[in-house]
Structure 1
């Protein structure tokens, strides 16, 4: 599996997985990665096998089975053996997979941009069962009008305290608002990244304190 590794892991390492329909070098993924690298956070991007085959063969393919997606994410985690603080992240489907491997990994937290709470048009087919048992923190950055889980729907879910949802005004699945809202997608993403960076910095500081006390 080819890995795209950017930046120095001065504060930590983020493994960032793409969504179902866009590759690891999509505009959204590029923006998120570059902003994290600017904040001294290393970003590791990779592609699930179906996307890799789509890139090399040119034929559009559906996502792999969930078990294969989970195994692929775990393979990336296992490729690093150093003691750099690890964080998981992903866009939509990639974030869902990241949240499913979180508790069994050495990662300290997980971040999801646009969690796919349910398929589009199927609000009763929820993807929240594993969230109820999460022991590690999960931060979700969700647009208020996301068709895969908008604010009215999701606020009716019963989720544990380990799951923190950050809502973005008028945002869609890519956190993009309509012009009339007065908001911008870049501002929403930057706000999400500010939360993400703050968590990573705090975890890094706690790690330094623990090292001094031991």
Structure 2
């Protein structure tokens, strides 16, 4: 039986966004819902330690995925909602993520746990505990810039569920060639940095780079549905 219920893989209409606040043990989080009609999957995805849900990749995902029967929940961690400029320790980020999970489960859909950068680490660390169907890791920070010896590969390899990494080809936090072999898929965005920005000399435009992100995710979800 397909992982996500076997709904025909075709474009569908979307509905209006709405925002919901959620009390967690780390403070108040916020979810911006981008619902799909007749959704068979929920993708919850959070931001990194240096920005919010306005990131180009998160906005592109929220705009595109509902057309493919995927409801998208863009999650703002409590520290961001509180207006703080510095993210807390990883354990506190995990607490905030756990706190929004009961709200996600009310949708009665399989949940893909996702995030960009620090949010990707959170998704990997908590996937099995929370019962995530899969993990989407955007710009996974494999190591701090210039410090490959401080690897975070164990978090990625320990996710324990189907995982897609979407990584910029020039990401200083870990280029695709640096990633170890493991039970995950990896989509490379040529020339992309940690925020998937591409230089003018690149062989693709910024719009093309963003399109490759969403296309890679859509194709991965299609494969999950067919499993």
TM-score (norm 1): 0.82
- 8 Å contact kept, 1:11–1:200: no
Match in the other structure for 1:209: none
Indicate the residue corresponding to 1:114 in structure 2: 139
Given candidates 94, 97, 107, the residue that maps to 1:70 is 94
Report the alpha carbon displacement of residue 82 of structure 1 after superposing the two structures with TM: 4.0
Please tell me whether residue 169 in structure 1 is matched to residue 190 in structure 2.
yes
Distance 1:118 1:197 in 2: 27
Does residue 1:138 correspond to 2:163, yes or no? yes
Closer, same or farther in 2 for the Cα pair 1:205/1:10, shift >3 Å? farther
What is the distance in 2 between the residues matched to 1:133 and 1:4?
A: 28
CA distance in 2, matches of 1:130, 1:113: 14
Aligned length: 197
8 Å CA contact 1:13–1:86 kept in 2: the answer is yes
| Gapped regions of structure 2 (runs ≥ 5) | 1-21, 23-29
Aligned equivalents of 1:167, 1:26: Cα separation in 2: 18
- Write 1 or 2 for the structure with the bigger share of helix: 1
CA contact (8 A) 1:11 1:204 kept: no
Instruction: State yes or no: 1:16 paired with 2:45.
Output: yes
Aligned residue number for residue 118 of structure 2: 93
1:195 and 2:220 are equivalent in the alignment: no
Question: Equivalents in 1 of 2:170, 2:112: separation in Å?
Answer: 27
Write the distance in 1 (CA, Å) between the matches of 2:40 and 2:198.
31
Shift of 1:172: 0.9
Query: Deviation of residue 183 (structure 1)?
Result: 0.8
Name 1:211's counterpart in structure 2: none
- Scaled by the length of structure 2, the TM-score of the pair is 0.78
| Offset at residue 83 of structure 1 (A) | 2.6
Please identify runs of 4+ aligned residues in structure 1 that moved more than 6 A: none
- Please say which of residues 84-93 and 145-154 is displaced more in the overlay: 145-154
Q: Does 1:48 align with 2:72?
A: no
Which of 199, 205, 208 aligns to 1:178? It is 199
CA RMSD of aligned residues (A): 2.0
Q: Give the match's secondary structure for 1:180.
A: coil
1:155-181 residue CA offsets vs partner (Å, 9 max, x unmatched): xx3x32x22222221111122222212
Structure 1: gaps (5+ residues): 55-59, 207-214
Structure-2 residue corresponding to 1:3: 31
Q: Report the equivalent of 1:37.
A: 66
